[in-house]
């Protein structure tokens, strides 16, 4: 996520929804991993600078957490946006990403290929995967009561990056070319989900299906 203070824009980054492509287009087109080194999220003039008053937060903060930290200008005066994704595809993307990235906390638990059945049952529903990654999308963008979204503008991953690019270009004052992100899914991946997998995911991500219209 990022907070463009002077542009009054807040991006709430839901994991596995193409947020990396948005960051690359906005900050550095040539270095695909430059944004990974950013530990500060309050940004002025679309540049990484050691400005006084920046706040360190994690890479995937909830809208509620960001609302508390946006103070100059406050959250209510900012344009907030996020990208959502079909829960089945997002779960499949997480499954593939876990095996590609092998983050240290995951690497200790995983020294083998991870089957989809085990991933859905134990890692998502069973909570073995980190909360920030498996958290339902609605719980990332909603208010404390859970009855409305704190994020003003929601895009769908399925609609492609063009709409996000047009919207964001108008607000930052320059053209942005946001590349399409497959986010580690492959054609036909959904066919790998059995009826049992689908029932488990539908129950776990019930808020996403109901609130986000999937």
Q: What is the mean pLDDT of the chain?
A: 80
CATH number of 2-211: 3.40.50
Yes or no: say if 24 and 37 are a contact pair by the CB < 8 Å rule: no
Matching residue, tokens 């500060």:
40
Q: At what angle do helices 19-27 and 162-172 cross, to 10 degrees?
A: 40
pLDDT for res 54: 34
* Residue whose token pair is 């404390």: 144
Measured distance CA(148)–CA(193) in Å, rounded: 30
Per-10-residue mean pLDDT for the chain, 214 residues long? Answer: 78 89 70 41 42 41 83 84 96 86 56 83 93 93 95 95 92 82 76 97 98 96
Per residue in 1-29, pLDDT (tens digit) is 677 777 888 889 999 998 878 877 776 64
> Residue 84, SS3?
strand
Helices (H), the chain: 19-27, 63-69, 87-101, 104-107, 116-118, 131-134, 137-141, 162-172, 195-204, 206-211
Q: Which pLDDT does position 114 carry in this prediction?
A: 82
Q: What is the dihedral of CA 154, 179, 175, 80, to 10 degrees?
A: 20
Residue 203's pLDDT is what?
A: 98
pLDDT digits (tens, 9 = 90+) for 74-87: 888 989 999 999 99
User: For 12, which DSSP code?
Assistant: E
Residue 67: what pLDDT? 85
β-strand pairing of 153-156 with 79-84: parallel
Q: Which pLDDT does position 154 carry in this prediction?
A: 98
């Amino acid at each position: 996520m990022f907070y463009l203070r002077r542009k009054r824009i807040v991006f709430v980054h839901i994991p596995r929804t193409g947020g990396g492509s948005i960051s690359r287009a906005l900050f550095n087109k040539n270095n695909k991993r430059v944004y990974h080194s950013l530990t500060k999220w309050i940004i002025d003039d679309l540049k990484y600078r050691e400005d006084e008053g920046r706040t360190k937060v994690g890479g995937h903060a909830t809208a509620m957490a960001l609302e508390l930290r946006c103070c100059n200008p406050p959250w209510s005066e900012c344009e907030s946006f996020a990208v959502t994704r079909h829960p089945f595809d997002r779960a499949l993307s997480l499954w593939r990403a876990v095996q590609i990235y092998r983050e240290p906390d995951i690497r200790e638990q995983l020294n083998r290929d991870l089957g989809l059945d085990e991933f859905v049952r134990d890692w998502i529903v069973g909570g073995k995967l980190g909360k920030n990654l498996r958290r339902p999308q609605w719980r990332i963008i909603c208010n404390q009561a859970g009855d409305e979204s704190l994020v003003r503008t929601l895009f769908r991953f399925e609609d492609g990056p063009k709409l996000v690019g047009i919207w964001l270009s108008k607000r930052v004052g320059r053209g942005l070319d946001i590349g399409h992100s497959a986010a580690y899914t492959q054609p036909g991946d959904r066919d790998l989900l059995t009826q049992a997998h689908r029932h488990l995911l539908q129950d776990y991500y019930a808020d996403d299906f109901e609130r986000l219209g999937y």
